Amino acid sequence: MTISAGTVQAVLPASPAPMRMGDPVLLSSSQARAVAFRDELRQLVAIDSGSGQQEGLDQVADFLAQRLSRLGAQVERIPANPSAGEIVVGRIRGRGSRQIMLMVHYDTIFPDGEADRRPFRVEAGRAFGPGVADAKGGVVMILQALELLLERKFTDFATITVLFNPDEEIGSRGSSELIARLAADQDVVFSFEPSPPDSVIKSTKGIAYLTLSVEGRAAHAGASPESGRNAAVELAHQILALQELGDSSKGTTVNWTRIRAGDRPNVIPADATATADMRFSDPTELVRVRDEIKSTIQRRRVANTSATLTVRPQRPPFPANAATQRLVRQAQAIHQELGLNLKAVAMGFGTDAGHAYQPGKQGPAVLEGLGVVGGNLHSPAEWADLESVPARLYLVVRLLETRPCPLPGPEPCRE
């Protein structure tokens, strides 16, 4: 059901948990932004912006460019070739020295027309609609947090760089290079994918797609099947031989997800392909899996067939690291100001945090999962928790205003 502003206030907690050393003015301002957050989220969810949907992506890019301009940002729009849509980059200048980057995507996985079929609605404090959590809720979190910074006249930063990209759901093919280049100049990068309740994300996995292609020889399936070389049969044997490529001790999974063979039921297939989804935390695992597959496919079950492997890296891992742990400790201390506990979780999906993280370099500290609390992602039941918005806004603004904790330290730090 659609709810009124008064109803939104009613579903928020009647009063926050007792504060220990927090900022009551910021908490009050964060709570007061609940209605504006909901209304802005409704506007964005009403626009179909699935990856590749040029018209909807352009509408969202227009909206984001205007919003950033009103926040005082210098705005640049960059085509995300070969993807559809534009990368919207805004830069807000301050008077300090810290370089900060906020980023999230605005494309979704949903088809054209989904916003009309499943319009934005709120039930029991949760918002529903296509992309409501992943990641339009993150987009609004950035905009509303910047509004709060402006309201608080906070300028103790050199530049806050905001990046909204239109192609994360298809591997960020047109934006990954820019993300990495901009992130290299930052002190800290905050990414706004959704997170589980009471959590931020300390690591995500890399993604690669592995395609195994088999070539055989076509023949009539009834008159002379023996003269053919069945590519489907060879592919089936190879897949069975490649079932144990994962390594649970390293967090590596390899799952064969798509198979195709032949075009007609009465023809021995001359070609067949299978694609596997690989997730990994250790970058060296990609080399190991590739080499194991190449070795295995040298052994043929169907004579006179050939097999080749194509590896398509989609996104590098964002591994657990000391710089991120500093930010986790900072976030935990901030949540404790509200009497709340905060977990740091490792997620099996991949995000653009992997492009922002700079392994082996003096790169930025990166923290993921600062968007809305949400669940059932990539499904018609996807939801975003509106009741958690004030606490999350409080967390984001305090992270922007506060420098990270020193290393190391097992306990949440306090400034």
Separation CA 260–CA 235 (nearest Å):
10
pLDDT band at 364 (very low <50, low <70, confident <90, very high): very high
CA distances from 386 to 5, 73, 371, 398 (A): 12, 27, 12, 19
Separation CA 307–CA 232 (nearest Å):
11
The pLDDT tens digits of the residues spanning 180-205 come to 999 999 999 999 999 999 999 999 99
More confident residue, 329 or 15: 329
Average pLDDT over residues 258-276: 97
Residues forming beta bridges with residue 76, ordered by sequence position: 89
Q: pLDDT value at position 406? A: 64
Separation CA 17–CA 24 (nearest Å):
12
Three-state secondary structure call for residue 25? helix
291 counts as catalytic: no
Q: pLDDT value at position 403? A: 79
Running DSSP on this structure, what letter comes out for residue 195?
B
pLDDT band at 359 (very low <50, low <70, confident <90, very high): confident
Residues forming beta bridges with residue 90, ordered by sequence position: 75, 162
Q: pLDDT value at position 412? A: 58
Mean confidence (pLDDT) of the chain:
92
Separation CA 2–CA 270 (nearest Å):
55
pLDDT band at 361 (very low <50, low <70, confident <90, very high): confident
The pLDDT tens digits of the residues spanning 136-157 come to 999 999 999 999 999 999 999 9
pLDDT band at 411 (very low <50, low <70, confident <90, very high): low
The reply to whether CATH 3.40.630.10 applies to domain 5-204+317-401 is yes
Query: Which residue in the list 23, 40, 107, 385 is annotated as catalytic?
Result: 107
pLDDT band at 409 (very low <50, low <70, confident <90, very high): low
Separation CA 369–CA 162 (nearest Å):
16
Q: pLDDT value at position 129? A: 98
Helix (H) or strand (E) holding 203: strand 199-204
Percent of the chain's residues with pLDDT above 90:
89
Percent of the chain's residues with pLDDT above 70:
92
The pLDDT tens digits of the residues spanning 370-405 come to 999 999 999 999 999 999 999 999 999 999 999 766
Query: Which residue in the list 168, 169, 193, 385 is annotated as catalytic?
Result: 168
pLDDT band at 415 (very low <50, low <70, confident <90, very high): very low
- List the one residue out of 325, 331, 337 whose CA is nearest residue 400: 331
Q: What is the DSSP string of 122-144?
A: EETTEEESTTTTTTHHHHHHHHH
CA distances from 136 to 17, 44, 146, 318, 331 (A): 28, 7, 16, 22, 22
Burial classification of residue 401, based on how many CB atoms lie within 10 Å of its CB (0-12 exposed, 13-18 middle, 19 or more buried): middle
Burial classification of residue 226, based on how many CB atoms lie within 10 Å of its CB (0-12 exposed, 13-18 middle, 19 or more buried): exposed
Q: Is the model's pLDDT at 12 over the cut of 50?
A: no
The pLDDT tens digits of the residues spanning 317-326 come to 999 999 999 9
CATH of 206-315, one of 3.30.70.360, 3.40.50.720, 1.10.260.40, 2.40.50.140: 3.30.70.360
Q: Read off the pTM.
A: 0.87
Q: How many other CB atoms are found less than 10 A from the CB of residue 284?
A: 9
Q: Taking each helix axis as running N to C, give the angle between helix 389-401 and helix 24-32, from 0 to 180 degrees, rounded to the nearest 10.
A: 130
Backbone angles phi, psi at 254, to 5 degrees: -135, 115
- List the one residue out of 127, 130, 110, 137 whose CA is nearest residue 194: 137
Q: Is the model's pLDDT at 339 over the cut of 50?
A: yes
415 counts as catalytic: no
Range in 80-89, 351-360, 402-411 the model is least confident about: 402-411
Tell the residue number behind the tokens 């999906």, with chain if given: 349
- List the one residue out of 173, 203, 204, 207 whose CA is nearest residue 277: 207
- The segment(s) of the chain belonging to CATH 3.40.630.10 are 5-204+317-401
Q: pLDDT value at position 7? A: 29
Q: pLDDT value at position 6? A: 31
Average pLDDT over residues 214-231: 97
The pLDDT tens digits of the residues spanning 81-124 come to 999 999 999 999 999 999 999 999 999 999 999 999 999 999 99
Token digits of residue 157: 């930063």
Average pLDDT over residues 231-239: 98
The pLDDT tens digits of the residues spanning 284-323 come to 999 999 999 999 999 999 999 999 999 999 999 999 999 9
Token digits of residue 273: 């392909």
Q: Is the model's pLDDT at 9 over the cut of 60?
A: no
Measure the CA angle with vertex 92, ends 91 and 93; round to 5°: 115
Q: What is the DSSP string of 237-287?
A: HHHHHTTT--BGGGTBEEEEEEEEE-S-TTEE-SEEEEEEEEEESSTHHHH
Torsion of CA 357, 361, 363, 368, to 10 degrees: 20
Note whether 314 and 209 are within 8 A (CB). Answer: yes
Separation CA 34–CA 390 (nearest Å):
7
pLDDT band at 4 (very low <50, low <70, confident <90, very high): very low
